[in-house]
Amino acid sequence: MDARRWLYVFVLTFASLLPARTGDAVDSTLVLAAKSAALLDAYSGEFLFLKNENDRQYPASSTKILTALLVIEAGDLDRMVTINVEDTKVEPSNLDLKPGEQYTRRQLLYGLLLKSANDVAMALARDNAGSAEAFAEKMNERAAELGAISSHFVNPHGLHDPDHYTTAHDLALIARAAMEQPLFRQIVSTVYYSWRAPNGPISQLRNHNRLLRHFAGCNGLKTGYTRAAQQVLVSSALRESREVISVVLHTDKPGIWVDSKALLTFGLLKLGCSPESVVDTTDRPDESAETEDTSTR
């Protein structure tokens, strides 16, 4: 390990020994670009770091974490869902579902969480509750059960609505519950998925979460973007039997990756992971250039 990495290890190790302050006071050991952030021990539920954790923020497509949780908890995941016209009348990002097509709930969950498809979110919501509006009521009920009492959801996809909001604290609780579901964990850790439309070609869905490729141990979770929300990233990492969940809300494109790496590293060290395991294998070579999609993710 070169001198620069040793310095990084030293700084983060020292930081992990200091208590994180909560509320509006930002922990001086971590300087984040994000307006709000939270870091959670996935096993104990203890918060390890908080920044403006109770401030209302727009979740964008990280909304789909809760959407997926409700669908998975409902079960019968191999049941077929028939797409209708209303499902397709939603802004991108979409998978261009066609009325009359049929997919299993399981397949649609991959489209929801990897492609971040809004038409898929609408189809799953309607299938689960009869309408997107009824599904939103279930979202709010489930969020409250999880302790996410400062959030309010009005749709299953996260397209902007001033009455659709969450907090870093609440989103961490929702993500923790979702990560307790084996299928959810499997999907959000998947980098590529072969999507086949009925009577159509196979296309490769690529997970928008770059940390799956560039942060060793990353095993999820979900990106998001709208103009109002700016960049959003919920991420998780598992090392040496320790797992942490990070939430970064309202920042720029570089910020979600830099802030999330810093939070995940901080948390793993604080929980006792060896510095070598956390730092030495963090970065992996870029596989290809990634393009920006301005639609919600």
Q: Please, which residues bridge with residue 97 across strands? A: none
Domain boundaries, the chain: 3-279
- Give the tens place of pLDDT for each residue, 51-74: 999 999 999 999 999 999 999 999
Percent of the chain beyond pLDDT 70? 84
Instruction: Tell me what the mean pLDDT of segment 21-30 comes to.
Output: 48
- Across all residues in the chain, what is the average pLDDT? 88
Residue 282 confidence (pLDDT): 45
- Give the tens place of pLDDT for each residue, 118-162: 999 999 999 999 999 999 999 999 999 999 999 999 999 999 999
The Cα 149–Cα 171 span in angstroms is 10
Percent of the chain beyond pLDDT 90? 78
Dihedral of the alpha carbons of 173, 174, 176, 180, in degrees to the nearest 10? 140
3 state SS of 94: coil
Residue 279 confidence (pLDDT): 60
3 state SS of 175: helix
Architecture of domain 3-279 in this structure? 3-Layer(aba) Sandwich (3.40)
Q: Are 153 and 63 in contact (CB under 8 A)?
A: yes
Give the E-state strand segments of the chain in sequence order: 36-41, 47-51, 80-82, 102-104, 192-196, 202-206, 218-226, 230-239, 242-251
pLDDT band at 178 (very low <50, low <70, confident <90, very high): very high
Q: Are 225 and 296 in contact (CB under 8 A)?
A: yes
Residue 284 confidence (pLDDT) above 50: no
Residue 77 confidence (pLDDT): 98
Looking at per-residue pLDDT, the higher value among 204 and 274 belongs to 204
Residue 29 confidence (pLDDT) above 90: no
Instruction: Tell me what the mean pLDDT of segment 13-38 comes to.
Output: 62
Dihedral of the alpha carbons of 91, 183, 76, 106, in degrees to the nearest 10? 40
Q: Are 111 and 143 in contact (CB under 8 A)?
A: no
pLDDT band at 278 (very low <50, low <70, confident <90, very high): confident
Residue 286 confidence (pLDDT) above 60: no
Packing angle of the helix pair 132-145, 118-129 (nearest 10 deg): 80
Catalytic residues: 61, 64, 116
- Give the tens place of pLDDT for each residue, 242-269: 999 999 999 998 889 999 999 999 999 9
